[in-house]
Each structure stands twice: as structure tokens, then as C-alpha cells.
Amino acid sequence: MTDIDVRLREDVHLLGELLGETIRQQHGEAFVQKIEAIRHSAKADRSGAGEQLSSTLDSLADDELLPVARAFNQFLNLANIAEQYQLIHRRSDDQPLPFEARVLPELLARLKQAGHDERGLAEQLAQLQIELVLTAHPTEVARRTLIQKYDAIAAQLAAQDHRDLTEAERQQVRERLQRLIAEAWHTEEIRRTRPTPVDEAKWGFAVIEHSLWQAIPNHLRKVDAALHAATGQRLPLQAAPIRFASWMGGDRDGNPNVTASVTREVLLLARWMAADLFLRDVDALAAELSMQQASAALREQVGDSREPYRAVLKQLRERLRATRAWAHASLEVTQPAGPEVLVDNQQLIAPLQLCHASLHACGMGVIADGPLLDCLRRAVTFGLFLVRLDVRQDAGRHRDALSEITAYLGLGHYAQWSEVQRMDFLQAELNNPRPLLPAHFQAEDDTAEVLATCREVASAPAASLGSYVISMAGAASDVLAVQLLLKEAGLTRPMRVVPLFETLADLDNAGPVIEQLLQLQGYRASLQGPQEVMIGYSDSAKDAGTTAAAWAQYRAQESLVNICRAHDVELLLFHGRGGTVGRGGGPAHAAILSQPPGSVAGRFRTTEQGEMIRFKFGLPGIAEQNLNLYLAAVLEATLLPPPLPQPAWRQVMDQLASDGVAAYRQVVRENSDFVEYFRQSTPEQELGRLPLGSRPAKRRAGGIESLRAIPWIFGWTQTRLMLPAWLGWETALDNALARGEGDLLGQMREQWPFFRTRIDMLEMVLAKADAQIAEAYDQRLVQPHLLGLGSHLRDLLSQSCELVLGLTGQSVLLAHSPDTLEFIRLRNTYLDPLHRLQAELLARTRGREAALDSPLEQALLVTVAGIAAGLRNTG
């Protein structure tokens, strides 16, 4: 067992002990012993503990259900903290650096060995454009107040990691941990009300304030050091290889709570927050930079000031104060920005650069490259607008708006026109200098909201906005429709209008749609920069299963790369990946390296979803590691792209996808009992009551097709069947083996990063799946006539596991990663009681109305949160 394992177990044991003491103080020793009995019955022998565990849980009184659920939920959250801290804990000199810290220096060495010259390497790294787009859904299961306490607990684990602490200091750390754990225990886990879109945006800003604000300059310092060591070159001051965007407050697809006024408010809050954060930096710099010697350029700006740097920074400080005050006032009443308000990022960057250059010119580089450089790096990365806000809306809303407009103008109904008619109309109107609508046009509410959003886009500074994303796009007219609506709203500058191809059919049609657009002279003229296209992972997987969806995504990217290359247009692919494997999630580094060659050409854009934001970016040290992985993967995929798949591999993958989608849809769409089974066997209905995010769980009334991808995945995750992530693979792989393609599958896994990554992610999700737990839900919740379907699905799960084991040559899933396997086992000790308790609570609460604040309902929602924390997955 490694030192990391020992320390992790020590931390988990300490946190568990302190939690037990907290519970003992409130509920007494007898109750703590009950929890221990439940834990031991789950731990003793998982294969035979089910009946014993169920019996122990059944003996609980109603008033004990909630505190028992809370105890296991809290422990799993504390285990997460300990595990996260292990990734960044202080290491002694004789311990190897983690992969995340080594990945860039080792990559630069490999690139040099591959023949890349030093100057070219430095230029390519400096020019990288990686944008991580923070999204709210499914947002955090845990409340923000608890997240802050968890972060404080992690800080105390770091504090106790110093070997030279005195016994008194060590006791102080333990007392602080005890207090923080008690605070968390006595804080409600579950929100009573759903967060608003503005709440979600504030949560995103808090991640920047408490983590990324520190992580970005630290990360760039290490990038600069690695680059200098490898090439002798420095990272330019204007380089920002990784930037951030957001959907929080801009994503109105199926969310009526995101309105034009919400988008306006979030844009202003971002400007207020940026000004406030930079004010703190500039205040500190003004206190530190008391030097007198300055360059002629700086003297020219401030005259004969005795403290020239402070003079420059005080001018900037006053403008930041004016900017913050204006943004705050504008939240109440729209008002023009006065001359002191900062409106362009260069107005923020230039004074900082001037001070930095002057200090270097005067022999004070050691001072220049301290906190001033950190502030300058933040200014280049975040700017005055903090994050760029994307706007997203469903293509159907644009069609409906244009249909109302054309009907009003006496032209007929746009929605009923053919694609040719729509394209003719849109191109004519885009080229027409007159407005489309008279000033007195009074639209219906939905159309008025679409037009109001377009007006907000038109009036916002260009640097504050990212892309306008069209969900469920399927035709070239969907893109031109948005361009026309934005033109009508008064937008005169270029803006990226981005089709999002989501279903299997739309992914197959992505190339032809972009081909059609790029053949239009007017459209080509409107492109300023790359052609951006978004690839949807969540809905394509829900539509066709992950086997067919993954291959469709790959082929769509290949097609787009070839089409844009033929038209001499740069391509930017935007990956709409979820947090889970069933929604296209998984380790980002491997996923990027498995993309088609040419699809990552120095540019990469991807969503970071909900709870994964905290796991990947919630602590500065963890954030740095993930930023390193993104940077290295995009650089490697750009300069050392993977090989083209061999024709034989393509044929195998075509057949795997065909078999996979048929098997998936046979269960999900063609089995008349499936929807009823899903609703009975999972907490899908109850998830609609969980105040997870601002967006409704359904797009519209209906069956599986109406569900958003998140509750679809979330429901199966809670019961550990994990069905969306693997269903279809068992048939596809079994058929391939029956055709004698086993050796070819092994070759594909060995030599083709795309296929290897898919199998690795499949293995990970199968290791988290648990047929015994899923069966326990069925036995408690499912009507007798549906039990056979559940048994069949568990047989398919078992078949998937056997096939993956055969393909990887292992006797146990994840045998190659014993640390991960051990931690899954450790979590199961605390997850098993929550699963069985949840099944019991579902049975007790179904069929009767229960208030959200009733003990049973609260206990149920706590089990949902606890299982999500234990598996580190919601949707």
C-alpha cells in the first residue's frame, strides 16, 4: 500500500471520527452505535450483507431515518474532501510528482524529440485558445454554504500536513476541524427553493473568486517555467491559453426563467465582480509598489510624482471604483457609462503593463514578476467582464418568432415553408438595408422575449459575450434565422452564431449544413474568425446510446474538418460534454487526445457541467492540475495528432454503432414496458422535486424523449444500474466477437485512441454499476409484471462486464487502477445503506403528497444528495 493510500485512510478516519463525535453530542451514544452497526453490516460482506443491512434499516424509527441519511451523506462528502486533498497534498522531495504536474514538461520534451523547434513550440503554446464554458445544469446538489465549509475543511487538512507542528498546533487544527464538521452537520443539506438563474451565475462567479482567481496566475507561472526550461522562451504577457465563458444566465433553452432581463443582470453582475476583484489586487499593489525609479514612458504619464507606480495604480483604482459603482447602479436603472468607467480590456491591461515594463527597465524585474505579474495575467485572462456569456436558445423558438413575424407582414407562415423558401427569404432580408419590422409591431410574449434577448445581445459589449448557440439545430436556415433576428435587433458587429447538432440524425447532417452555409457568399462575408460548431453529447447519447453516439460525433467532426479545410475556413469545435460517461463525460485529457486528427488545431471549447466544476476547479490546487491537463492535451492533439483510423477499424466501428443503436432502441423505445419500469425503479419522478437548478426537468410533457439528459442519467445513477452509459455495447461487442473480430478489437484498443478511450470510460462506469443494488430497488419498488425487465437489464449489465474484461484481459474491472478500485470499495460501505434507505423511503412516500420539509421527504432528498456525492456524479 502506497504512502498516499495510508495518508488518505488517515484523513478519512479522522474526519469520520470527528463526525461521529458531532453526531454523538446531538443524538447520544446509542444512535452512534446504530450507525456503526449499519456501517459494519454493509462492510462485512457485500455479497451477503443485503438481508442483514435491510433488516437493520427496517428497524429504524421514522424519526431516525433523516439523521441516519444525513450521517452517511456527510461522511461521503467528507471522504470526497479527503480524496481531493490527496491530489494536492504536500509531498516530500523523494516522492514522484503527480502526472498532472509532470504532463507539460514531459510533453514539451517529447515534442522536441519529434522535431518541433523551440521557437515554434513557444509560439504554438502562446497561441492556444482553450475556453472552458461553465454551465449550471444540473448545478450543485450541495448548497453553496456547505461547499464553503467543505473548502475550509480542506484548508485544515493542509494545515495539519506540516511535519513540524507542535502538539498544541496539531490540537488547534483538530479543534477547527471539529468545529467546521459540526457547522456542516447542523446545516441543512437541501435547498428549500430552487436557485434562480442569477443565483447560479453568482455560484459560478464564486468559483472564480475563491479558486480560479488564484489558480490561473499560479498555473501560468508553471507553464512559463516549463516553457523556459524546454525552449529558453517566455510565455508572452498577452498570452491567455485558457479562458472562461459561462452559460449561467444565458442558457434559455427550455428554461423560461432565463429572460432578457436576467441576461442583462448577469452581465452587469459580472462587470461588478470583475471590478471588485481587480480593486482588491490594485489596492494591494498600490501599497507594495512604493519605488521611485521609473521609465520615461511611465514618467510621461504621471509627471514628477515621487511614487510614480502608486500614481498610475491610484488612477486605475479610481476608474475601477467608478466602474463598480456604475455596474451596481445600472442593476436598478439603466444608465450610460461615464468617462471614468472602464469599457475596454486594454484600459485595464495597459497601466499594469506600463508598470511591469518600467520595473524591468529599471532593474527591478524581481518585483515586476511578483503580484503585479499575477494581476496582469488575471487581467488578460478574465478582463473587465470576468467570463464571456454565451446565449443559447432552441431553434424552434426562432422559427416560431419568424413565423409570427411573416404572418404579421402578410407573407405566410415561416414555419410551414420549405427549407428552400426559408433560405431565400432569410438571405434576401439579411441583404436588405431596411428593417424587417415596423416600430409599432406588438409581438406575442414568446416572440417578444426572443426579440428582447437579441436586443440585449446587440447592446452588450462584444467582449462580454461568447457565442449564440442554437440547440436542436438541423438546417442552414436555423443559423441564418438567428443572424436575421440579431440584425433586426440592431446588431452591427460580427457575432458567432453556433449550430448545436444533438441527435444522431443531426450529427450525420452537420457536415452538409455547414457546407451549404459556407457556399453562401453573404454568410462567408459575415464570418469574422473561425466557423464554430457545437457537438452535442448528452442528447445524442440519450437518442441512440453511447456506442452509436460516440461514433456519430467522431464522424461529424471528421466531416466538418474536411469541409472547412476545403473552404479555407478555420474550424472551432465546441464540445457539449456532460459530467458523466452517459452524457459524453470522462477524463478530459484522454478525451481530447482521442478526437479526430485535425479537429483540435490549437483551439478547443468545451462545457464544464454542474457538480464537475467543483470537483475540477473548486480548490486552487485541483484547478491548477486540471488546467495543466487541458493545456497539455490541446497542445499534444494539435502537434502530435492521433493516427487516422484504418479502413478495417472504420468498418468494425460502423457495425458496432449499427448494432449498438438497434439494441439500445429496442430496449428504450420499442419495449412498451420500459417507460413504466424506469419510472417505478428509479427516483426519476422524485428528482423533479429536488431543487437542483433553475431549469425544469422536462422540455415538455411526454415520455423518455421529453426528458432532459440530466434526470435521465441521474435516475439510473441513483440505482447504480448506470444503464445509459453502457446499454448497446453488450450487443455490439458480442456480435463483433461472434464475427471473429476479437483480434481486430484488441488492435483497435491498442492503436486507436478513440476506441481505447471509449472502452476505458465504459470500464469505469461498469465498475461503479452494481446489479445487486439495482435489484434491491426493483424488489422494493417495481410491480411484479415488470420484474422480468429489470432482471433482463441486469443480465445485459453482467454481459457488458464480461465482454469488457475479455477485451482488457483482466479478471476484475479497474484491476490496472487499484487506488480507484479501493476508493470505490471504501465508498460502497457508506453508499449501500443510502441506496437501501432510499428504496425504502421511495416506497413509503410514493402515492401520497408529502411536503418538502416533512422528515421523510427531507430524508429522501438527502439520500439523493449523498449518493450523488458518493459516486461523484449527478447528471
Global pTM?
0.92
Instruction: Name, in order, each residue with C-beta under 8 angstroms of 138's C-beta and a sequence gap of 6 or more.
Output: 609, 610, 611, 692, 693, 710, 714, 874, 875
**pLDDT band at residue 49 using 50, 70 and 90 as cut-offs:** very low
The mean pLDDT value for 225-238 works out to: 97
pLDDT score, position 696: 62
- C-alpha pair distances (Å), 451 with each of 398, 447, 480, 850: 9, 6, 15, 41
Tell me the three cell numbers of residue 211. Answer: 479558486
Helix axes 729-738, 742-751, angle to 10 degrees: 120
List the one residue out of 734, 808, 737 whose CA is nearest residue 766.
808
Q: What's the mean per-residue pLDDT of the chain? A: 90
* b/e sequence 242-251, b meaning 16+ C-beta within 10 Å: bbbbbbbbbb
**Per-residue pLDDT reduced to its tens digit, 699-737:** 555 556 656 556 788 889 999 999 999 999 999 999 999
The span from the CA of 248 to the CA of 262, in Å, is: 10
The mean pLDDT value for 472-498 works out to: 96
pLDDT score, position 707: 62
Tell me the three cell numbers of residue 92. Answer: 516530500
Radius of gyration of the chain (CA): 28
The span from the CA of 17 to the CA of 12, in Å, is: 8
User: Considering the chain, what percentage of its residues have pLDDT values greater than 90?
Assistant: 72
**Per-residue pLDDT reduced to its tens digit, 548-563:** 999 999 999 999 999 9
pLDDT score, position 711: 75
DSSP string, 30-83: HHHHHHHHHHHHHHH-TTT-HHHHHHHHHTS-HHHHHHHHHHHHHHHHHHHHHH
φ/ψ of 237, rounded to 5, equals -65, -30
**Per-residue pLDDT reduced to its tens digit, 394-431:** 999 999 999 999 999 999 999 999 999 999 999 999 99
The span from the CA of 436 to the CA of 425, in Å, is: 11
Q: 353-357, 393-397, 453-457, 688-692: lowest mean pLDDT where?
A: 688-692
10 Å Cβ neighbour count for 435? 12
The span from the CA of 625 to the CA of 667, in Å, is: 40
- Torsion, Cα 511 512 515 521, to 10 degrees, reads -140
Question: In this model, does residue 775 exceed pLDDT 90?
Answer: yes
**Per-residue pLDDT reduced to its tens digit, 261-285:** 999 999 999 999 999 999 999 999 9
The span from the CA of 204 to the CA of 610, in Å, is: 9
**Per-residue pLDDT reduced to its tens digit, 167-203:** 898 999 999 999 999 999 998 877 777 789 999 999 8
Tell me the three cell numbers of residue 362. Answer: 529599471
**pLDDT band at residue 826 using 50, 70 and 90 as cut-offs:** confident
**Per-residue pLDDT reduced to its tens digit, 104-161:** 999 999 999 999 999 999 999 999 999 999 998 544 455 677 778 888 998 898 888 7
* DSSP conformational letter for 211: I
Q: 27-31, 417-421, 452-456, 617-621: lowest mean pLDDT where?
A: 617-621
φ/ψ of 498, rounded to 5, equals -120, 115
Helix axes 818-845, 62-88, angle to 10 degrees: 160
Residue 197 host element (H or E): helix 197-207
Judge whether 729 and 800 are in contact, CB under 8 Å. yes
**Rounded to 5°, angle at Cα 535 from 529 and 536:** 145
* DSSP conformational letter for 724: H
pLDDT score, position 137: 54
The mean pLDDT value for 224-251 works out to: 97
Question: In this model, does residue 490 exceed pLDDT 50?
Answer: yes
Q: Report how far apart the first and last C-alpha atoms of the chain are (Å, whole number).
A: 33
The mean pLDDT value for 754-769 works out to: 94
Instruction: Determine the distance from the C-alpha atom of residue 808 to the mean position of all C-alpha atoms in its chain, rounded to a whole number.
Output: 29
Active-site positions read 137, 542
The span from the CA of 415 to the CA of 447, in Å, is: 14
List the one residue out of 566, 632, 543 whose CA is nearest residue 593.
632
Instruction: Determine the distance from the C-alpha atom of residue 671 to the mean position of all C-alpha atoms in its chain, rounded to a whole number.
Output: 33
The span from the CA of 698 to the CA of 513, in Å, is: 28
Residue whose entry in the numeric block shows the C-alpha cell 452509436: 548
- C-alpha pair distances (Å), 580 with each of 204, 466, 587, 609, 762: 20, 25, 10, 9, 11
**pLDDT band at residue 464 using 50, 70 and 90 as cut-offs:** very high
Instruction: Name, in order, each residue with C-beta under 8 angstroms of 7's C-beta and a sequence gap of 6 or more.
Output: 86, 89
pLDDT score, position 578: 54
DSSP string, 638-684: HHSPPPPPPHHHHHHHHHHHHHHHHHHHHHHTT-TTHHHHHHHHSSH
User: Considering the chain, what percentage of its residues have pLDDT values greater than 70?
Assistant: 92
Higher pLDDT, 615 or 144: 615
Amino acid at 329: A
Tell me the three cell numbers of residue 60. Answer: 429504524
Report whether the peptide linkage leading into residue 138 is cis, meaning its omega lies within 30 degrees of zero.
yes
Instruction: Name, in order, each residue with C-beta under 8 angstroms of 339's C-beta and a sequence gap of 6 or more.
Output: none
The mean pLDDT value for 550-579 works out to: 92
Question: In this model, does residue 373 exceed pLDDT 90?
Answer: yes
Judge whether 248 and 137 are in contact, CB under 8 Å. no
Cβ-in-10-Å burial (0-12, 13-18, 19+) of 570 comes to middle
The sign of the torsion formed by the CA atoms of 189, 195, 200, 201 equals negative
Instruction: Name, in order, each residue with C-beta under 8 angstroms of 434's C-beta and a sequence gap of 6 or more.
Output: none
Tell me the three cell numbers of residue 692. Answer: 437542483
Question: In this model, does residue 582 exceed pLDDT 50?
Answer: no
List the one residue out of 236, 283, 273 whose CA is nearest residue 380.
236
pLDDT score, position 139: 41
Cα Dmax for the chain: 89
Q: 131-135, 187-191, 345-349, 628-632: lowest mean pLDDT where?
A: 187-191
The span from the CA of 539 to the CA of 207, in Å, is: 27
**pLDDT band at residue 584 using 50, 70 and 90 as cut-offs:** very low
**pLDDT band at residue 260 using 50, 70 and 90 as cut-offs:** very high
pLDDT score, position 585: 42
**pLDDT band at residue 873 using 50, 70 and 90 as cut-offs:** low
10 Å Cβ neighbour count for 871? 18
- C-alpha pair distances (Å), 368 with each of 280, 312, 359, 363: 18, 14, 6, 9
The span from the CA of 118 to the CA of 125, in Å, is: 11
**pLDDT band at residue 853 using 50, 70 and 90 as cut-offs:** low
Residue 765 host element (H or E): helix 753-768
pLDDT score, position 363: 97
The span from the CA of 397 to the CA of 404, in Å, is: 11
* DSSP conformational letter for 232: S
The mean pLDDT value for 818-831 works out to: 83
Structural domains in the chain plus CATH codes: 260-385 (1.20.1440.90), 399-612+634-639 (3.20.20), 648-816 (no CATH)
